[in-house]
Amino acid sequence: MTATEQTPFANEPVLELRRASVRAGLQEALATVEARLPVEVPVRIGADRRAGDAVISTDPGAPERVVARAAAATSDEVQAAVAEASRGLARWRAVAAVDRARALRAAAAWLRERRLELTALEVRECAKPWLEADADVCEAIDFLEYYARGAIELSRGRELVQVSGERNDMSYAPRGVVAVISPWNFPLAIPCGMTSAALAVGNAVVLKPAEQSPALAGALVTALRAGGIPDAAISLLPGEGEVGAALVAHPGVHAIAFTGSLPVGREIVRSAAVVAEGQHHFKSVVAELGGKNCVIVAADADLDEAVPAIVGSAFAYAGQKCSAASRVLVAEPIADQLLERLAGAVEVLVVDQAQTLGTDVPPVIEAAARERVLRYGELAAREGTVVASAPPPDEPGWFCPALVVADLPENSSVLSDEIFGPVLAVQRVRDVEHACDVVDGLAFALTGGLFARDPETVRRVRDRTPVGNLYVNRGITGAMVGRQPFGGNRLSGTGLKAGGPDYLLQFVAQRAVSENTMRHGLVV
């Protein structure tokens, strides 16, 4: 496809699961995937592959089921991967933007052809319920399609002021070797987004995926290479945290794209600031970190809409999204009504296996996560009142009850820590202004919600809120590429918004060239 044939970007349509014929395909895909488990995920540096089993990913809903056996990259392999990436960079940056875009779009096509199987793999490896898993696969495809188009746009450069006798232009060059460190909660979309943005503008990438989801990262690398990205330009280093740390510290890395928790993000920013002997660049860090996301419910809100939207935002995928709602700030006049309806709506949530259609709350990712969530649940019960809970099934799997808590003291850590689980705290506020003060007092500023019908209230909150993504009269998760560019402020992130028109700028170095066009007193 040539640049002129480029169709405008459109989001990949999610499965229409309300149709029985569409649902019918899911179990078959699951069976196909299960027959192939466990998946082998080798260290992949250039054309080399080294298999291993130092990292094992298991099904959070059935911990005895091994989903993937991955090798853990050694420090020598980190060195080798960066060296290979430097070679890959030389080749890949020389490829024209349209041709790079073509490769990314071919990778999107590869994913598209295997959508159901990838979705099923997410159901198993991360306990993502079908709806959520499907959305993740679609988002991965969207990132490839969106950044491919954006990079072509960027390659045209920018208009500068031109006066006679000189020719000025500004263009965008890749930064170099980009280390991508990705989380498990959007196991395909997030690594794909960071990686494809870096690749689209000509960088080489070394990907270190979360140890909980190596199988999906492996599939991503396969897709990119199948699409035509040179082996040397995309390497895969499965492993635990120290692999990521070694990558970040490596002087041959130019930029780091990270999505994950605040403590790790802080450590990355610190480590990346060090300029090693002989390192001739500052590393840039693109970090998407946590959130403590509040939904404000004004006195004139429509509770028929607010309640289901809040429940979905707080409990879908067991609250394991950085965008998930974890606090509700409700105006006093409707607080009782909201609490009663919210409690009733949470009591009917189905906590069950991810592969069961109709599951609202799947198990959390791993044993340690379950312990953490249960600990916060106990703390919340001690410091406040549990107003509703949906019980977990009596099955192996890292299940946690879904909880709604009220009456917490202002200094409760339940109100400030990112719990990353199915726990929602509700707090009464005098009015919207008071709610804005509460939001303003938080260290995080990722997403936020507002339910209100008065246009003036909407304007006021828009103006005051520090959050990166404010959602008005709707759920606060599910940002779509190109429609809701995503990313936070304050300690929620450093970067420009993912899936937005400016994201690629973080992966380029700007170059301005001014050429004198006067020769012997004449303009030539």
Partner 1 sequence: MTTARPAPDAVDPEAVESELQRVGRELAAAFPSSSRQPLRAFDARAMELATGDQELRAALFRFVDVVPACRSLDDLAHHLTGFLGEVGETPPPLAAAMRISHTRAGRAALGAAAAGGVRHLAHRFIVGESPQSALPTFRRLWNGGVASSVDLLGEATVTQSEADRYAARCNDAIAVLSRATAGWPTRPRLEADGSGPVPRANVCAKVSALTPLLAPEAPRRGQDDAARRMRPLLRAAHEAGAHLHIDMESLDSREAVLDLVLELLSEDEFAAGPSSGLVLQAYLRDSPDQTERIVAWARQRSAAAPPLTVRLVKGAYWDHELVQARQHGWEVPVFEDKADCDRNFEALSRRLLDAGSSLRVAIGSHNLRSVAHAIAYNRVSGGEDVDLELQVLRGLGDDLAHALAARGFRVRAYCPVGDLVAGMAYLVRRLLENTSNESFLSAQAQGASVQELLAAP
* Footprint on this chain of partner 1 (rule: CB under 8 A): 10-14, 16-18, 20, 23, 130-131, 299-305, 307-308, 311, 333, 340-341, 343-345, 347-348, 350, 357-358, 453-456
Kindly tell me which of 76 and 304 has the beta carbon lying closer to partner 1: 304
The C-alpha atoms of residue 200 and residue 206 are separated, in whole angstroms, by: 14
**Nearer to partner 1 among residue 159 and residue 456 (C-beta):** 456
Q: Which residues lie closer than 8 Å to 206 by C-beta, 6 or more apart? A: 78, 81, 82, 85, 177, 178, 179, 180, 235, 236, 237, 247, 253
Residue 361 C-beta: closest distance to partner 1, Å:
13
The residue from 126, 192, 294, 322 that is catalytic is 322
Concerning whether 288 is annotated as a catalytic residue, the answer is: yes
Nearer to partner 1, 444 or 471 (CB): 471
**How far apart, in whole angstroms, are the C-alpha atoms of residue 53 and residue 352?**
29
Residue 377 neighbours by CB under 8 Å, 6+ apart: 386, 400, 401, 403, 423
ω into 501 cis (within 30 of 0):
no
- Rounded to the nearest 5 degrees, what angle is found at the Cα of 515, between the Cα atoms of 513 and 519? 175
In single-letter form, the type of residue at position 404 comes to: V
CB nearer to partner 1: give 26 or 43: 26
How far apart (Å, rounded) are the C-alpha atoms in residues 419 and 378?
Answer: 12
Residue number with CB closer to partner 1 (125 or 134): 134
Between residues 301 and 436, which has the closer beta carbon with respect to partner 1?
301
In angstroms, what is the minimal distance from the CB of 191 to partner 1? 23
**Smallest distance, partner 1 to C-beta of residue 151, A:** 23
Distance between CA atoms of 74 and 51, rounded to whole angstroms? 12
Active site residue 192: no
* Least distance to partner 1, CB of residue 348, Å: 5
The Cβ-side half-sphere exposure at 190, using a 13 Å CA radius, reads 26
Selection from 472, 444, 446, 443 nearest residue 458 by Cα: 472
Nearest to partner 1 of 277, 456 (CB atom): 456
Does residue 414 come out as left (phi exceeding 0), alpha (psi in the -120 to 50 range) or beta?
A: alpha
Shorter beta-carbon distance to partner 1: residue 101 or 306: 306
CB of 516 to partner 1, least distance (A): 51
Cβ 254 to partner 1, closest distance in Å?
A: 36
* Residue closer to partner 1, measured from CB, 13 or 521: 13
Instruction: Quote the least distance from Cβ 317 to partner 1, whole Å.
Output: 14
Query: What whole-number distance in Å separates Cα of residue 409 and Cα of residue 415?
Result: 9
| Pick 78 or 329: Cβ nearer partner 1 | 329
Contacts 24+ apart (CB under 8 A), 251-254: 251/276, 251/277, 251/278, 251/279, 252/82, 252/83, 252/85, 252/86, 252/177, 253/82, 253/176, 253/177, 253/178, 253/179, 253/206, 253/283, 254/175, 254/176, 254/177, 254/178, 254/203, 254/281, 254/283, 254/284
Q: What is the DSSP letter of 226?
A: H
**Integer CA distances (angstroms), 30 to 23, 82, 257, 291, in order:** 12, 36, 32, 33
Q: How far is the CB of 455 from partner 1 (least distance, A)?
A: 5
Edge to edge, the sheet with strand 284-288 lists 48-50, 43-45, 234-236, 204-208, 177-181, 255-259, 284-288
Question: Active-site residue among 145, 211, 288, 366?
Answer: 288
Q: What are the φ and ψ backbone dihedral angles of 272, each rounded to 5 degrees?
A: -70, -20
CB of 343: closest distance to partner 1 in angstroms?
8
Half-sphere exposure of 507 (CA within 13 A, CB side): 33
Give the nearest distance from C-beta 307 to partner 1 in angstroms. Answer: 5
**Which DSSP letter does residue 396 get?**
S
> 264-269: long-range contacts (C-beta < 8 A, 24 or more apart)?
265/289, 265/493, 268/181, 268/244, 269/494
**Annotated active-site positions, please?**
288, 322
